[in-house]
Structure 1
């Protein structure tokens, strides 16, 4: 089965918004054992939409069309599909009733333009949207079924899981069993990971894939067929053995998710004091519901004065060693942990750039500390020639990994090939 995706919208085409829908759909398809063959992005121009529907439908079996189902004049997916088929738009009475009911239930007056969302190509099969006003539909053109979905991510995800997946399974069958296992790594480049793993002999039906999402590299271990699935646990362990401490999480999207998983309802408490990361460590944890069970406070102590008055860092330490130093970041971590006698505290202080560096401490120099009830661990890392954003995100990842290793009673400080480190 050849599956493609057509993403519509000027704002997507011009880069004004990032197309997270396409990434989500591709990842969901991969988890089903289906690899997307082709993806097209097209603007809100009727002739372009008609052309791409006609052209791609000659090669694909199924095409997910995302966007262009709204009530405004630039939402043209239904009209373009009707023109591609050479047929008229017809009002769908079921969806008109749904629209009127939806607006009444929500205490709103329906604008006349919303009635446009009930107009579908004459041969279309309506696809329900239980959480919005954009009516989905599917149409057969040439070789392909085109499956139209709303651009709103929440609505797309509902329709994909509740409507699209059952449709393709009924139409094309479930196919062979598949299973995907993901390993998250930090501190190693994609090419070096691939070189390291190239020596492995993989069983038939098992493949490795890589996805760079800095500061992480995700390794995908994909098994097709029952025989390969049975061997998957053994292959996972072989990959982890070869990579060692490069692997920081199993089947997690980020290190923040791994830390949340380990701290949630663990009984441990965490405090965070951030300078160069500016709240990034705290914010990523708060993304997960239930983080209040362990996260006591996150402090952005950006200035020296705040480090002194809020965290109790000695002015003498700052005078003697500077804000970006092992001594300062250790004092920050100890001060943050002491405020509520937490089990753990993380602290960062660095030069994210692009300015502010010196010969002794160039841009990309970051000090990170972890305070525990047993002691303090700290390191100074070097992240040269990285953007300000990447310096911050990589620093947060290293801080998370220090905490993760402490929770596992492993060595807190390790070497990462792609991250330099100052000796104490």
Structure 2
């Protein structure tokens, strides 16, 4: 089955907003074993939309059209689809009733402009949108079903999960037994991962896919068909052994999610002292409900003065070794752990750039420490090859989490990641 996507909107086309919808849809399709074949972005111009619908519908089996279902004059998707088919727009009575009831429940008068959202091409089949006012619909044109979805992300996601995926699986025969295992990795590039795994002989029906979301790379193992599914666990074990320490979690989107899963309601407590990561470690954990069950506190000790006053770092340590040093992060970790006698504490200090580097400690140099109650301190200083500030901070947080993850599992806390250079102590 050939699935494509047409994204609409001037703001998307001109780069004024990042098209996260397209990336999310492509990933959701990959999760059920379907790869998107083609994607195009079209501005809010009637003829351009009509031309795109007519042209792509000759090549695809299914096209997801995203955006242009709102009440304003620049929302043209329904009208363009009607023009492409040579049909009239017809008011959908069911959707009008839904809109009126929705506004009545909220105690408001429905604006007249919202009636436009119930105008669908004459041959359209309505697609439910239970969380918004934009009516979805699908239409057959040439070889393809065009499936129209709202641009609001949470409305799109619900429609894809509840309406689109069942449609292509049940009505278009795309439903095959498929199972996917996702391995989360850090410390190795996408191409290097692929090269490393290219020597493996995979059984029929099993394929590998890769998705980069810095600082992580997902390795996806697709099994299609019952025979392949039966071999998936064994193949996954072989791949994990082949990749070694770069595999940091299974079926997790981030290392923060993995740490939350391991600490939530475990009775284990964590404290954080952050310099170069600037609260990123704490922020990623508190994204998850229930993080208060294990996170004691997170301190952003950016200045040397705060490291001394709040964490008890010795001024002599800073004078002798500098803020970005093994000795400093060890004292930071011990200091923040001791405030509430936490079970574990993480500390980071580094040079995230773009300035501040030296020949001895260039931009991308980061020191990380893990203090363990009754178990001393583990520390390392790494040099990351990428010089972008946000990536350096993100990778630093990921390595810190991985140190904690390994300690929780009773594994070696310090390991070598192929893409990162570790300074000797």
Q: TM-score, with normalisation over the residues of structure 1?
A: 0.98
User: In 2, Cα distance between the equivalents of 1:151 and 1:350?
Assistant: 40
Q: How far apart are residue 174 of structure 1 and its match?
A: 4.5
User: In 2, Cα distance between the equivalents of 1:267 and 1:10?
Assistant: 51
The match for 1:78 is 78
Q: Structure 1, residues 214-273: CA drift from partner, whole Å, max 9, x if none? A: 111111111111111100100000001111111101111111111111111111111111
User: In 1, Cα distance between the equivalents of 2:386 and 2:258?
Assistant: 28
SS of aligned partner of 1:156: helix
Q: Does 1:159 align with 2:159?
A: yes
- The equivalences for 1:405-424 within 5 A come to 405-424=406-425
Q: Does 1:341 align with 2:348?
A: no
Q: How far apart are residue 125 of structure 1 and its match?
A: 1.1
Q: Does 1:326 align with 2:313?
A: no
Q: Structure 1, residues 173-227: CA drift from partner, whole Å, max 9, x if none? A: 2432111111111111222222221221111111112112211111111111111
The match for 1:30 is 30
The match for 2:61 is 61
User: In 1, Cα distance between the equivalents of 2:241 and 2:166?
Assistant: 38
- The equivalences for 1:183-332 within 5 A come to 183-332=183-332
Q: How far apart are residue 10 of structure 1 and its match?
A: 1.4
Distance 1:131 1:175, change over 3 A: closer
The answer to which of 413-422 and 382-391 deviates more is: 382-391
Q: Does 1:39 align with 2:39?
A: yes
The match for 1:375 is 376
User: In 2, Cα distance between the equivalents of 1:310 and 1:47?
Assistant: 63
The answer to which of 342-351 and 3-12 deviates more is: 3-12
- The equivalences for 1:367-406 within 5 A come to 367-373=367-373, 374-406=375-407
Alpha carbons 2:185, 2:216 under 8 Å: kept: yes
User: In 2, Cα distance between the equivalents of 1:248 and 1:127?
Assistant: 40
Q: How far apart are residue 163 of structure 1 and its match?
A: 1.6
User: In 1, Cα distance between the equivalents of 2:166 and 2:189?
Assistant: 38
Alpha carbons 2:81, 2:121 under 8 Å: kept: yes
How many residues end up aligned between the 2 structures? 424
User: In 1, Cα distance between the equivalents of 2:350 and 2:277?
Assistant: 8
User: In 2, Cα distance between the equivalents of 1:269 and 1:107?
Assistant: 47
User: In 1, Cα distance between the equivalents of 2:394 and 2:110?
Assistant: 45
Alpha carbons 2:354, 2:387 under 8 Å: kept: no
SS of aligned partner of 1:288: coil
Distance 1:385 1:202, change over 3 A: closer
Q: How far apart are residue 385 of structure 1 and its match?
A: 4.2
Structure 1 runs of 4+ aligned residues shifted over 6 Å read none
Q: Which runs of 5+ in 1 are unaligned?
A: none
Q: Which runs of 5+ in 2 are unaligned?
A: none
User: In 2, Cα distance between the equivalents of 1:385 and 1:213?
Assistant: 14
CA-based RMSD of the aligned residues comes to 1.2
SS of aligned partner of 1:401: helix
